[in-house]
Amino acid sequence: MFRAATIFLAFTSSLIARDFDPKRDVFAFSNDTVMNYSVTHDGRLHVGEKKAKSDKPTHCCFLFTRSAMQFWKFAHFGPKQPRLSDAEYRARVRAVFRIPTWMGRKERIVFPGYADLWSFSREHEKILRADLGSWLLTYLRIGNWRMMNPVIRLQQRHFAEKLFADVSKGGVRAMYLAKFPHMNHVVLAYHAERLAGGGMRFQVYDANYAGEPKRLDYVPGSNLFDFEKCFYWPGGELRAFPVYDSPLH
């Protein structure tokens, strides 16, 4: 008991969070999809055959997003400090991943020898991948069943306003994007701006695109969100729900 407490206190530091940067506060490696996706010339999504075994993590968008939040909230990087052994870094990664994302916390776990999560993950991908957690459990989360519920558009408007308020204050929010049966994905919103006509635009971290921000708009005319076109989505309207802000989400 004493030993564990000593180790923990040795690598914590009381620091204030900084703005989220998609080229600094995310993983240098990306998530991958199990199936081959493509978008046809007329804008339809085509789901092809299963990919050959990938050397990237798969099914892990929930895990990438949750872990990026945990590092942003609970970790600090000390680039001028001496680097540690792999075993010591692994202990600190596990300590970060054990902290629920919805917790408030003043102390941060320090990662010496690196400037940010991007540089740390580029050199320690194996350590991070080994402790991301089980992708299967994310598919069984209680909040996932919301994608099957009827569309209540006023709820989407309420969530968009709350999301805008939280992100505008410097926070980050995990968002579950859903449109049955083809969209079942999680992104992390970190920047917000108002658009003409009452719309809102959010910049999001998408684990399928390492270091490349994506756009998600709230459309007041439909009271739905619009996610930009990418390799696994033709672009268009869908629903968004908060995740990782309470044990039930």
Q: Where are the domains of the chain?
A: 2-137, 142-243
Range of lowest pLDDT (57-66, 71-80, 168-177, 222-231):
57-66
Confirm if 35 and 46 have CB atoms less than 8 A apart. no
For the question of whether the overall pTM of this predicted structure is more than 0.75, the answer is yes
Q: CA-CA distance, 118 to 26, in Å (whole number)?
A: 6
Q: CA-CA distance, 131 to 151, in Å (whole number)?
A: 36
Please state the rounded mean pLDDT for residues 86-106.
93
Please state the rounded mean pLDDT for residues 31-49.
70
Q: CA-CA distance, 27 to 132, in Å (whole number)?
A: 12
Range of lowest pLDDT (46-55, 72-81, 126-135):
46-55
Please state the rounded mean pLDDT for residues 45-64.
76
Given a cut of 70, is residue 225 above it in pLDDT? yes
Banded model confidence at residue 162, pLDDT cuts 50, 70, 90: very high
CB half-sphere exposure, 48, CA atoms < 13 A:
10
Phi, psi of 77 (to 5 degrees): -110, 135
Given a cut of 80, is residue 201 above it in pLDDT? yes
Q: At CA 165, angle to CA 159 and CA 169, rounded to 5?
A: 145
